Amino acid sequence: METIATCIRKARKEHVCDTCGSKICKGEEYDLQTNKDEGTLYTWKSCHHCKPLVRQMWAEGYFPDGYTETDFENFLADHPEIEFKKR
């Protein structure tokens, strides 16, 4: 996977966070990343609610080549001390 671009956007409509599955409400800021994987371009939207946990995942060496919503859920299962609720 190769990251092509990253930016912060303000939602003009409701979206779903690709990391945690929470709603990204209209008017809320979120991270938008454009990636390329095996010749396929795709976007990844992340709410700011899960951003600190994603940083922790990377700091602990989880998923160095990217992650999915399932990987994020597995990370939370491995860390029962973290209280995270979808919005």
The string of DSSP letters for 18-63 reads TTT--EE-TT-EEEEEEEEETTEEEEEEEETTSHHHHHHHHHTT--
pLDDT in tens, 13-62: 999 999 888 999 999 999 999 999 888 999 999 998 888 888 888 888 77
Q: Is the pLDDT of residue 85 over 70?
A: yes
Q: Is the pLDDT of residue 1 over 80?
A: no
Q: Among 7-11, 25-29, 80-84, which is the least confidently predicted range? A: 80-84
Whether 64 has a pLDDT exceeding 70, the answer reads: no
Secondary structure tally for the chain: helices H, strands E: 2, 5
pTM: 0.78
Q: Provide the CATH topology of domain 2-78.
A: first zn-finger domain of poly(adp-ribose) polymerase-1 (3.30.1740)
